[in-house]
Structure 1
Amino acid sequence: MRLDVETTRAGPGRLLVLLFLLLWCFAMPAKALVLSASDGLGRGIQLSGGLEIQRDPSGGWRIADVARGAQQSGFAPLEGPVQEGFSRDAVWLRFSLARTADAPARWLLRVRPPRIHEATLYAPDGRGGFVETPLGDARPLAAREIPDHNFAFPLDISTEPAVYFLRLRNDGPSLRAELDLWQPAGFERDRTADYTIMGVLLGAALLAVCMNLIFGAWLRDGLYAHYALYVLCIAALSVNRQGFAAQWFLDARPERVAQTLLAVNCFFNMVATAFMSRIFQFRRHWPPAAHFFNAVVVFNFVAFVLVLAGHHAAMAIWASAGSTASTLFGAVFVCYLLFVRRQFQYLLPASAFAVGTVLGLYGLLKLWLGDRVPGVPPDRIYWLGTMCHLVLLNVAVADRTRRAERDYRAERERVLAVRLEAEQALEGTVVRRTAELQQTNAALHEEIAARARLEARLRESLEVERQAIVQQREFVSMVSHEFRTPLTVIDGAAQSLDISKLGGEPVVKQRTERIRRAVQRLTMLIENILLADRLQPENRMLRLEVVDMAALARGLCESFHFPGASRLSIDVREPLPKVHGDRALLEIALQNLMQNALKYSPPERPVHVVLRHTGDIVQVDVIDRGPGVAMADKARIFEKYFRTETASAVAGTGLGLHLSREIAMRHGGDVILHETGTSGSTFRLALPAAPPEQVT
């Protein structure tokens, strides 16, 4: 090994220079890696065989301490790549490089994977010092001299051996590192291949997502949407693991790279665990296995939330442990399904997961042992494993559809066979039944003819009845009209007599009041009969207007000439909203309720009419002090012409309550028996309040 030292001192300092050279020689690696012109073009030159390592638990060593200070003798040879696990200690690597005379001076040192928090290269500057080049996922992409998804350090390598130092440290994720050297042209070709493979992977993932979403919509099976989400997570995980997320999305937020990677990893673990439990039907074969996987999903969700909250450094080892435990448990249970339960329908999805696992283990071996394991680089093995896993899993999901279609066809053929057998049995039954039907057909024709004759007679009877009803209505209308004129004359005469000189005499006054009460009773009877005809379905036309129920009730009390009308009292509890209805009909409904209350209350007891509103309902309670309604009659008191046995001594037609309820229902309300007992009854008229726009 030759050393190129440009700085020497004459005179007394020469001894110090020689001593420094001796210490330098002892501190240098035993053998420098000499690079030729053909190296670093087709594939990178691995440094796994020429590395020396020293750990810095404090993380505070400087290059002067490691290169020439107390720590320069602490380096030990390293076989294979750097594998430090979840330690947060800093790691110093030392290696020696030289090149042949025909080899280019410009080289690139690539450090993979791109999941290292701090990676700082110390290259000799030719004057006894070092040039510091800091990289790592904590530095923005714009600060890198080589903008690549991996960490690439530019090197100017001399023909004379020179010692280089590389400081690595991680803050949470497992520290692994693989170093290789490239010529710029070879590095560019390899980087182009990386981007091409990533493009193919993302394209295949996008195609798989779209196809499975379409299948899920067609077949109405949520497994396809779940698989589409699983593929999307694999693509996102690949983009983050290979450093493309830091280059494409987080170039201005490098402090988020490690957090994003762990968050995506936790979310992928949630989706993958649930998908594996679903596709292998853990709940069907052994519910505790499904419960365990549900617990793993919950664990990863909690880890996902904690990572988003900024605790990614502490959660890295736990997320890795949870993923390892669920993978091992899933592998054991799937082997149990295949080899013990002989559930060979799961062979394809098991193969898909097995290929990904085997290629992943092969990639780790390749990373650990380097060129002693034949094959492509570890990152290419990762790409290959991901692609094979997706292809086989697509085939497994498609095979599930094929088996479902096969089962559907078998079931359809079975149903068709059963149907054919049933049709044959039915044909025999039809033949037998046809003969029986022919025998009864003649009798049926005779019966139909007889029924037709009866129907004709019935129609004639209905027509006669309809004509009679029409004539009856015309007669009632005529008689009612003819009654109104003399009743009006009688009422007018009674009023005139009441206000004459003779009206002050007690006998005359008593008789005029009896005449007017009889006239009003007959008038109400006529109005109720005409109203019953008006409320028939063919005559249901309301003359709608805005009605003040309080004013209507007061007006009725003032003009009421029924016996005991003075006992009526009106109580309006609060300002009432108006109602939208037919004033004449509402007046008749309320008048019937008041008349009923006066008839059945003792002569000395009052009748209260209470008006209030509840929400958008106007309520009118008519409270009497009568004997109440018997329990057996409650369901029938609103029937047309119905009168209770206790009411036989009181004049009436049985139309009042019926008409009041009909009028209320025509207005969207109702009349109910709210309370009853030996101390009296309360009938409630409920009507909807008019909307404000109708009032205005």
Structure 2
Amino acid sequence: MPTSRPMPWQRAPWGWALGLIALSWLLIFATLVRPPAQQPVDRSHREVPGQRAEVDAAVLRLVPQVNLVRRPIEKPFTPTLAHWEDKSAQASFAQARSQLLAGQFKPRAVPHAAGARSTAFWYVVPVKRTDVEQGRWLAVVGMPYLDDVQVWLERGDGRIEHLQLGDHFLGDGRQIHARHHTVGMNLLPDEEVLIWVRSRTDGTMRFTFSLDSPAHYFNTEVNTSAMLGMFIGVLALGCLTYALTSIWLRDGMLGFYSLFLATLVLLYMGQTGLLIQLVQAPPWWLNDLFAGFGTTGPWYAAGVLWVNCLDMDNHQPRLARMYRVLALLFAMALPLALTPHYNKVVNISFLMGVVSSPLILYCAWVAWRRMHDRLRMVYLIAFLSYQVGGIVLAASLLGLLPSNELTSQIYPAATLFHTLVMAVAMGMRISRERSDKTLAQERAAAHQRFVAMLTHEFRNPLASIDRSANLLQALQSPTGEQLHSRIANVRQQVRRLGTLVDGFLTVGHDDQSPITPNPTEVTLREWLNSLIQAMGPDMGARVQLEMPQGDLRAHLDPKLMRLALNNLLDNALRYSPDDGVVRLVAQAHESGGVRIAVIDQGPGLSEDEMARLGAQYHLGDELSQGQRSTGSQGTGLGYFFCRQIVEAHGGQVTPSALRPQGLCVTISIP
């Protein structure tokens, strides 16, 4: 069956995703984004005929009058307001007064959160100046991202002052350049005023209202703006740092985290009003762009980030695809923040965030339980804090939780904590990446050394075989003794090559592939005799088995341990004189188990050389035995293979030098 060719979006998924996002943005900007309709604002002082006494009485039946007076501990007044929801968003000021008289207004404490609706909300509160000296007061309306805020000051003599505010009208009727929509009032002593506010927005409705003295308000704003600037500055610096680090290390996860921080910068610049405070007369769409992108962006930038952090592609591939598709869809819909349809996007995104949060936490928990890794635990803590803050924010904005000072501060606090914890996690990840990179480089260098050593180890027996073949070819009629000697040498070198290949295939050169022995109980004398016989008559005759009488048994893997002893015996025979005997001594261990010692008659090793013996990539031609045995230079691979096998059995290999010469290598098996 022919192999199916990958589709274009499978070959370059990010290119297709960016193309779809760009196309959707062009369509939205071309068809849906329109500037708000400019309504004429009558700033002249005009009178509303009649009904003032009835209006005052209706308001006072709902909420108490606010007496503006300086207090020992100066703080703003946050009164209870009379409230009415205009679902058509078309009611005029006169119609709102009629609804008040008809009993449609209800008491409402602020802040007031009503979710994402396309309706208008009316508020009214009675105010009276009772302070003798303080005549200038401010009515402060929030949140700063509200699109359309209109304020009417209805004075006792029937005069009306109308002001148009909101982030769509920042260049028109803006009395005070501040983060909030602020109205200044000059009140006469004992003057009573009704403050009417109409608020409408295409995003999430969260209405705040306070009355404050100018001195206290601006002093507070200086401190608040400084703290917000520091907080947003830290986020922006982190965003830039991680973006540059992502480019430097070519790490996509760091890039997604910098994108997540960028959405938080947009969120706090737009929602806190810092943007409209910094820009003198911003266009109508600028704050919507920041607040809108920042509201829905973090959910989905974080979703893609978590897919990578938790390696969901390998462990939860369906969830990973779901999060990526959601991120793509909402990225395509981000420009809807500049249209009246944005409230639908907000509602869907918040509901999806509330639903998907438990899934993310479950994946983080599973990842930590599966790997028990400190980095995964840090991820879990970061995700838990952000998800809790996000759920509280979404629930309060949708009206599922009361909107108060506590619920409004949970999300910023959770965001700050999440950012700090993720900074620790990213630092741990960068450190781990650098460590892994260094380890990979060391492994690559070690692999090259290993190949060089293996080549060197193969070269000696191959050269010996070649010499024997050349001598046989040079002799016209070799005698039986000459023929037997050369054939025995060839067989010996072939056996050395076979032992080396078996060791390489069994142990290898990668510490990540551990040896797993399959131990069985063997009769030691019978097993050792079979091992010596398998060496052949010439080499086997030079091995002398020494062990006590009796039935000595051992618990080991016969195949692996045969390979270990073959390596030791091969080395011992190679470094001993041609007529020398190698002793193979087996005995029971005092604490249980057995000891098997291989004792040769070679030149031996110094203490410093024995300390380096068996290092995986230590060249054996630096050892005394390699230097003193002509044609027998080695790399120490045989000893290394033996040690790996014995340690896999839970035992140990101990070399000891003999005097005046010789080397004893003891294998202890529990």
1:304 is the counterpart of 2:369: no
**Following the alignment from structure 1 to structure 2, what is the Cα–Cα distance between the partners of residues 432 and 60?**
99
The alpha carbon displacement at 1:425 in A equals 7.4
Q: Give secondary structure in 2 for the equivalent of 1:31.
A: coil
Q: Which residue of 1 aligns with 2:268?
A: 238
After TM superposition, give the deviation of residue 287 of structure 1 in Å: 1.3
Question: Larger RCO: Structure 1 or Structure 2 (Cα < 8 Å, ≥ 6 residues apart)?
Answer: 2
Match of 2:229 among 194, 199, 206: 199
Q: CA deviation at 1:160?
A: 5.0
The Cα of 1:233 is off from its aligned counterpart by 2.4
State how far apart, in whole Å, the 2-side matches of 1:410 and 1:152 are: 60
Distance in 2 (CA, whole Å) between partners of 1:124 and 1:308 is 33
Cα deviations by residue, 1:11-37 (Å, 9 ceiling, x for unpaired) = xxxxx98x8635642443342122331
Matched, 1:398 2:427: yes
Cα offset, 1:351, TM superposition: 2.2
Indicate the structure (1 or 2) with the bigger Cα radius of gyration.
1
Alignment partner, residue 163 of structure 1: 194
Contact map agreement 1:27 1:73 (CA 8 A) in 2: no
For 1:306 and 1:340, the matched residues in 2 are separated by 41
| SS of the residue 2:210 aligns to | strand
Residue 32 (str. 1) matches residue 48 (str. 2) = no
Distance 2:372 2:354 in 1: 26
Distance 1:257 1:108 in 2: 23
Please name the residue that 1:74 is paired with: 104
Q: 1:214 to 1:80 in 2, by over 3 A?
A: closer
1:46 alignment partner AA: T
The DSSP-based 3-state class of the residue aligned with 1:437 is: coil
The aligned counterpart of 2:417 is 388
Give yes or no for contact 2:144–2:167 (8 Å, CA) kept in 1: yes
Letter in 1 for 2:329: F
CA change 1:399–1:424 in 2 (3 A) is closer
Q: CA deviation at 1:161?
A: 4.6
Matches within 5 A, 1:501-540: none
Q: Given residue 198 of structure 2, which amino acid in structure 1 is its aligned partner?
A: R
Q: 1:229 aligns with which of 251, 255, 259?
A: 259
Q: Taking structure 1 as reference, are residues 183 and 336 closer, same or farther at Cα in structure 2, changes over 3 Å only?
A: farther
Residues 539-582 of structure 1 deviation map (CA, whole Å, 9 limit, x = unaligned) = xxxxxxxxxxxxxxxxxxxxxxxxxxxxxxxxxxxxxxxxxxxx
Q: 1:257 to 1:374 in 2, by over 3 A?
A: closer
- What's the CA shift string for 1:464-490, capped at 9, x where partnerless? xxxxxxxxxxxxxxxxxxxxxxxxxxx
Mapped partners of 1:374, 1:60: distance in 2: 31
Alpha-carbon distance between aligned partners in 2 of 1:304 and 1:362, rounded to the nearest angstrom: 23
Please, which runs of 5 or more residues in structure 1 have no aligned partner? 1-6, 8-15, 440-696
Deviation at 1:383, TM superposition (A): 4.5
Q: CA deviation at 1:247?
A: 4.3
Query: Would the alpha carbon gap of residues 324 and 121 (structure 1) be closer, same or farther in structure 2, given more than 3 Å must change?
Result: same
Q: How does 1:111-126 map to 2 (within 5 A)?
A: 111-126=141-156
The answer (yes or no) to whether the contact 1:110–1:153 under 8 Å persists in 2 is yes
Q: Give the SS at the match of 1:153.
A: strand
Aligned to 1:46: 78
Percent of residue pairs bearing the same amino acid type: 17
**Residue 625 of structure 2 corresponds to residue 431 of structure 1:** yes
Q: How does 1:3-18 map to 2 (within 5 A)?
A: none
CA gap 1:186/1:354 in 2 versus in 1, 3 angstroms = farther
The Cα shift of 1:399 comes to 1.8
How far apart are residue 196 of structure 1 and its match? 0.9
C-alpha deviation, 1:248, in angstroms:
4.0
Amino acid at match of 2:416: M
Residue pair 2:267, 2:293 contacting (<8 A) in 1 also: no
Residue 591 of structure 1: aligned partner: none
Cα displacement (A) at 1:127? 1.5
The C-alpha deviation readout for 1:487-541, integer Å capped at 9, x for no partner, is: xxxxxxxxxxxxxxxxxxxxxxxxxxxxxxxxxxxxxxxxxxxxxxxxxxxxxxx
| Structure 1 match to 2:125 | 95
**One-letter amino acid matched to 2:207:** A
Distance 2:403 2:351 in 1: 29
Give 1:360 shift.
Answer: 5.2
Cα distance, 1:309–1:102 mapped onto 2, change above 3 Å? closer
Greater Cα offset, 242-251 or 103-112: 242-251
Bigger shift: residues 405-414 or 281-290: 405-414
Amino acid across the alignment from 2:256:
H
Which whole-Å CA distance do the structure 1 matches of 2:65 and 2:220 have between them?
Answer: 25
Match of residue 146, structure 1, among 151, 176, 190:
176
- In the alignment, what sits opposite 1:179? 209
Q: Partners of 2:98 and 2:336 in 1: how far apart? A: 43
CA deviation map 1:354-405 (0-9, x unaligned): 3334445667899989999776x93x65544433332221111112234445
Aligned counterparts of 2:138 and 2:368: Cα–Cα separation in 1: 49
Say whether the 8 Å CA contact 2:149–2:197 is kept in structure 1: yes
One-letter identity of the residue aligned with 1:159: D
Change (3 A) 1:333 1:99: farther
Task: Call closer, same or farther: CA 1:321–1:248 in 2, change over 3 Å.
Answer: farther
For 1:105, the equivalent position in structure 2 comes to 135
> How far does residue 265 in structure 1 lie from its aligned partner after superposition?
4.1
Contact in 1 for aligned 2:382/2:421 (Cα 8 Å): yes
Q: Is the 8 A contact 1:94 1:166 kept in 2?
A: yes
Q: Secondary structure at the match of 2:158?
A: coil
Is the 8 Å Cα contact of residues 349 and 393 (structure 1) preserved in structure 2?
yes
Residue 238 of structure 1: how far off its partner (Å): 1.5
Task: Calculate the TM-score normalised by the size of structure 2.
Answer: 0.54
Matched ranges for 1:641-660 at <5 A: none
Cα distance 1:120–1:297, how it changes in 2: closer, same or farther (>3 A)?
Answer: same
Correspondences of 1:472-483 after superposition (within 5 Å) = none
Structure 2: how far apart are the matches of 1:190 and 1:20?
Answer: 36
1:422 aligns with 2:616: yes
User: In structure 2, how many angstroms separate the alpha carbons of the residues matched to 1:70 and 1:154?
Assistant: 25
* Partner of residue 331, structure 1: 361
Q: Name the CA distance, whole Å, in 2 between partners of 1:316 and 1:86.
A: 7
Distance 2:87 2:171 in 1: 28
CA 1:25–1:39: 2 relative to 1, 3 Å? farther
Match of 2:382 in 1: 352
3-state SS in 2 of match to 1:202: helix
Q: CA deviation at 1:100?
A: 3.0
One-letter identity of the residue aligned with 1:401: I
Contact conserved, 2:125 with 2:194, CA < 8 A, in 1?
yes
Q: Could you tell me which of 298, 305, 316 is aligned with 1:286?
A: 316
Alignment partners' CA distance in 1, 2:58 and 2:148: 28
Instruction: Name the SS for the 1:108 alignment partner.
Output: strand
CA 1:199–1:326: 2 relative to 1, 3 Å: same
Alignment RMSD: 4.2
Does structure 2 retain, via aligned residues, the 8 Å contact 1:112–1:177?
A: yes
CA 1:437–1:30: 2 relative to 1, 3 Å: closer
- Residues 159 and 294 (structure 1 numbering): CA distance in 2 closer, same or farther, change over 3 Å? same
Amino acid at match of 1:431: Q
